[in-house]
Structure 1
Amino acid sequence: MTENATIAPTLSPAALAQIRAFQQNEVTEAAVYRRIAARTKDEGNRTTLLRIADEEAKHAGIWQRYTGQEMRPQRGKVRRYALIALVFGFTFAVKLMEKGEQKAQISYEELAKEAPEALEIRDDEEAHEKALLDMLDEERLSYVGSMVLGMNDAMVEMTGTLAGLTLAMQNTRLIALSGLITGIAATLSMASSEYLSSKSEGRSDALKSATYTGIAYVVTVALLILPYLLFDESHYLWAMGTMVVIVLLILVVFNYYISVAQDLPFKKRFSQMAGISLGVAALSFVIGILVKQFLGVDI
C-alpha cells in the first residue's frame, strides 16, 4: 500500500474535498505563472515569476500526498489570466489571482486539525510568495503617477468643458468639434508640461513620462467625446448623460486596476476622483445655462 493510500483515508470527506480544491488551485496557478513568465522579456521579472511557480508546484506536491491524485491545470483559467496579463500587465494579473486565493485561506485553520502542513503552506504563501511578488518591477506601474495625472486632468477639464458646452450649444456635433479641439490642445499642453517638469527634476525618463501622461489624457478625451458623435444633434442631454456614465466606468476600472496592482484602497480613491470630476461637471453645466441666458447666445 502506498503512502498516499495510507494518509488519505484518515481525512474527513470535507477536509479531503478542501485539499483537492487547494491542490487544483496550486497546480493551475503554477501553470499561470509559467505561461506569463514565458512572455516576460525582463530577465529579473521572469526569474521571479518562475520562482513563484516553483513554490506553487511544491505546495501542490504536498497536497498530492494527501489526495493520491495527480491533477492537470485548468486550461480556461490559465488562458484567462494570460490574457489579463497581456492587456493589463503581469503585476495586475498575478495579484488579482492571488486575491482570489486569499478568499480560500479562511479554511486553513480548520484544515490544519487534520493536515498539519496546511499552516506551513499558509505561512509560506503569506511570507515568501508575498516577498517574491513585491520583487516584480513592471515598467507601466512606474508611470502610474503620470497616467493618473493625465487621466484625472482630462476628466476634470473635459467633463467640465463638455457639460458647459452642452447647455451653451445644444448641438452634439458642435459640442464634439469644440471638445475635440480643446482636448487635442490640452493633451499637447499637458504632455509638454509633464516633459518640462520631469526634465527640470533631472529625470532621464522625461520623454517616457510625458508620453504616458499624453496617452492617458487623449484616450480619456476620446472616450468622453464619443457619445456626442454617436447621438444625433438634438439628443445632447442623452450624450451628456452617457458621458457621465463613461466617466464613472473609467474611474471604476482605473481605480480597481490601481488598487489591485499597487495594493491601495479602492473606495476612497474612487469617491475622491468621482466627486471632483462630477462636481466640476455640475458646476460647468450651471455656468453653461447662465452664459446662454445672460449673453443671449442662441446657436
Structure 2
Amino acid sequence: MEKIKLDQETKNSLINAQKNEISEYFLYHKIADGLKDEQNKRLLKDIAEDELRHYKFLKSVTGKNVKPDRFKIFLYFWITKIFGLTFGIKLLERGEEAAVKAYEKLGEILPEAVDIKQEEDEHEHTLLNMIKEERLEYVGSIVLGLNDALVELTGALAGLTFALQNANLIALTGLITGIAASFSMAASEYLSTAAENSKKYAVKSAIYTGTAYILTVFLLILPYLLMHNPFLSLVTTLVIAILIIAFFNFYVSVAKDFNFIKRFTEMSAISLGVALLTFIISFGIRSFWGIEI
C-alpha cells in the first residue's frame, strides 16, 4: 500500500485500534483453545482471523508493529470464564467505539478503510450469533425464577416487616416462604416445559429456575440476618433487589442484545410497586386488627 501521510492524532488513534485488534486476535485464540465444543472453537478462530486481518491492514497504514495488551487479554478471558462466552465477547465488541472513530478518520483519507471494517464486522457479528451456549438457552427459566423471587419476596418481606417488626422472625418466615416457593416454582417450570420439550430439557429448566429463585431469596433475606432494625433491613433489601435487577438486565442486554433501560425500568417498577402495595396492606391489616407482636 502507498504510504499515507497522517497527522499525529490520527496515527495514535490507529495505533491504539491496531493494539486492540492484535489483542483480540490472541484473546479469541486463547478462549478457543479452552473450548470443548468444536463448532464454537471453529467460530472463534474465524473471528480471530478477522481481527488479524484488521491488524495487518492497520499495520500497512501505520508502518508499526504493536504488541498485544496482556491485561486486556487476561481480563476478558476471565470474564468469559465466569459470565459466559457470549457475554464476554459481546461486551468486548461493545468497547470498540475508539476503533470505529479511528477507521472513520482513516476513511477521510482512504475511503476503502471504512468498507473493509464494515464488511469484516458484519462477518464477525454473523459468527457471534452462531455461537451456542447452554446458559443462554435457559435464560427464560432464569428470568422466571429471578423475577418471581424479586416480586414475591420483596412484597412478602415488606408486608412482614410492618406486620412483625422483628428482624429474626421476618428472616425465618421469609426464608421458609422463599424455599417453599422455589421448590414450587421449579416443579411448575418442569411440568410446563415437559409438556413442550424433552424431559432432559425440562429438568435443566427446572434447575435453572429453582437455583435463580433460591439464590435471590438468600440475597434478599441477608440484611435481616445481619441487622437488628427491620426497617433498615427492608431498605437494604430493596437496594439489593435493584442491584440484582440492574446486574441481570445488563447481562441479558449484552448477551441477547436487549434494551437495558426498558427492561430494568419495567422490572424495578413491578418489584418496588408490589413491595409498596404489600407494605400498605400490612399497615392496614395491623391497624384494623390492632395486632401487636
TM over 0.5: yes
Q: Partners in 2 of 1:173 and 1:120 — Cα distance?
A: 64
Query: 3-state SS of the aligned residue for 1:218?
Result: helix
8 Å Cα contact 1:15/1:114 also seen in 2: no
Identity %: 49
The correspondence for 1:231, drawn from 227, 232, 236, is 227
Give the match for residue 14 of structure 2.
19
> What residue is the counterpart of 1:139 in the other structure?
134
Which stretch shifts more, 175-184 or 19-28?
19-28
TM-fit CA distance, 1:203: 3.0
TM-aligned CA deviation for residue 113 of structure 1? 2.5
Deviation at 1:274, TM superposition (A): 0.6
Q: In 1, are the aligned partners of 2:14 and 2:102 still within 8 Å (CA)? A: no
Alpha-carbon separation, structure 2, partners of 1:188 and 1:236? 27
Residue 59 of structure 2 corresponds to which residue in structure 1? 64
Distance 1:103 1:162, change over 3 A: farther
Q: Deviations over 1:131-152 (max 9, x none)?
A: 1111111110000100000000
Letter in 2 for 1:101: E
Q: Which residue of 1 aligns with 2:34?
A: 39
Counterpart of 2:188? 193
**SS of alignment partner, residue 132 of structure 2:** coil
Shift in CA distance, 103/263, structure 1 to aligned 2, threshold 3 Å: farther
Aligned CA distance change for structure 1 residues 103 and 269 (closer, same or farther; 3 Å): farther
Structure 1: 5+ residue stretches without partners? none
Measured after TM superposition, the shift of residue 38 of structure 1 is 2.0
User: Of 210, 223, 229, which aligns to 1:214?
Assistant: 210
| Aligned match of 1:286 | 280
Cα deviation for residue 7 of structure 1 reads 1.8
* Stretch moving more, 108-117 or 37-46: 108-117
Q: Alignment partner of 2:108: what SS? A: coil
Partner of 1:297: 291
Q: Residue 41 of structure 1: SS of its match in structure 2? A: coil
Residue 77 of structure 1 pairs with residue 72 of structure 2? yes
TM-score (norm 1): 0.94
Cα deviation for residue 102 of structure 1 reads 3.7
- RMSD (CA atoms): 1.4
TM-score by length of 2: 0.96
| Alignment partners' CA distance in 2, 1:113 and 1:275 | 46
Contact 1:55–1:129 at 8 Å: present in 2 too? Answer: yes
